[in-house]
Structure 1
Amino acid sequence: MKTTLVPGLEHTFSFKVSPEKTVPHVYPESDLFRDMPHVFATAFMVGFMEWACMEALRPYLDDDECTLGTMINVTHQAATPPGMQVTAHVRCLEVEGKRTVWEIEARDEVEVIGKGTHERFTVNKDKFAARVATKGRTP
């Protein structure tokens, strides 16, 4: 990771909510999920928040690196129907070696829909893939 990454970095990222990002699509195998309202799912909102942080980090990574989410603490305080655009504003709070901590606020076209904090670690892609492959071979 490049040493130019410092706390205070801000980034804004937007996404249009599609019907596939609504609650019934989180676990379509479950009737409990299938019967829920067709609004932006918390699970997909969390992924969207992570995506915004990954985009903010992208220019600071070497080609052999990626970042992994290791902690997320967010609220989901308002429903968003499909077709609306959501925007995440992220701000880097901490940089400690390969660890970064982010403050996140997500809004739809009307109001704040969620906010909180997120931690990511930068890893070497090949080393991480090798570690996961070894774990997958463990009986």
Structure 2
Amino acid sequence: MRTRIGYRVTADDSVRALPFSEEFYSRKPDVMASGRLVAMCEWPCMDLLRTRITPLECSLGVWQRMEHLAPIVIGAELVIEATCTLLRRRYSEWDVTVHDEAERVGAAQLGFVTVDQGEFESTRLRRKPSPAAVVLAEPATITR
């Protein structure tokens, strides 16, 4: 499986749009955030996987290896190419390249797993207890 999509980078993709701290929005150039680039790489893979799974299933990213090779300016026209390199039952791996008008600006290798969305949400998304709420067993007694 292989696909190619186009995307125009917007101000919402900027590192300055990240809501974390002043460091992100005042002390960085107005370029695409690396986290948004990861999302752009996942997008065509998930679109292709959607054609192979049931309406009750979804694909979830399980690992990423990302190279952000050059700055991506706001307004840049990106071409994102994704190729499936491994498809084994519910697991797939992908090679993705990202080019702007002038050069290759990103590359990624990604892994996805397909899950039953309802089952996943009912079993894996239950609220986990906070560490303070975990009751430990009685301390072990050491005898000499």
Q: TM-score range by the shorter chain?
A: 0.7 to 0.9
* Residue equivalent to 2:141: none
What is aligned with 1:3?
Answer: none
2:23 aligns with: 32
Bigger Rg over Cα: 2
1:102-113 aligned at under 5 Å gives the runs: 102-113=94-105
Kindly state the Cα deviation for residue 116 of structure 1 after the two structures are TM-superposed.
2.4
Query: C-alpha separation between the residues in 2 aligned to 1:96 and 1:29?
Result: 38
Q: Distance in 2 between matches of 1:80 and 1:110?
A: 10
**In 2, Cα distance between the equivalents of 1:91 and 1:54?**
11
Paired AA for residue 56 in structure 1: L
RMSD (Å), alpha carbons: 1.3
- Unmatched 5+ residue regions in structure 2? 131-144
Query: Which consecutive unaligned segments of at least 5 residues does structure 1 have?
Result: 1-8
Report the equivalent of 1:17: 9
TM-score (norm 2): 0.84
- 1:121 corresponds in structure 2 to 113
CA distance in 2, matches of 1:75, 1:55: 22
2:80 — aligned with what? 88
Higher relative contact order (Cα pairs below 8 Å, separated by 6+ residues): 1
Q: Deviations over 1:19-44 (max 9, x none)?
A: 11011112x23111112111111110
For residues 123-138 of structure 1, the aligned pairs below 5 Å read 123-134=115-126, 136=127, 138=129
Contact between 2:80 and 2:97, CA under 8 Å: does it hold in 1?
A: yes
- Superposition misfits of 4+ residues, deviation over 4 angstroms: none
Tell me the distance in 2 between the aligned counterparts of 1:56 and 1:13. Answer: 11
TM-fit CA distance, 1:52:
1.5
Opposite residue 32 of structure 1, the aligned amino acid is E
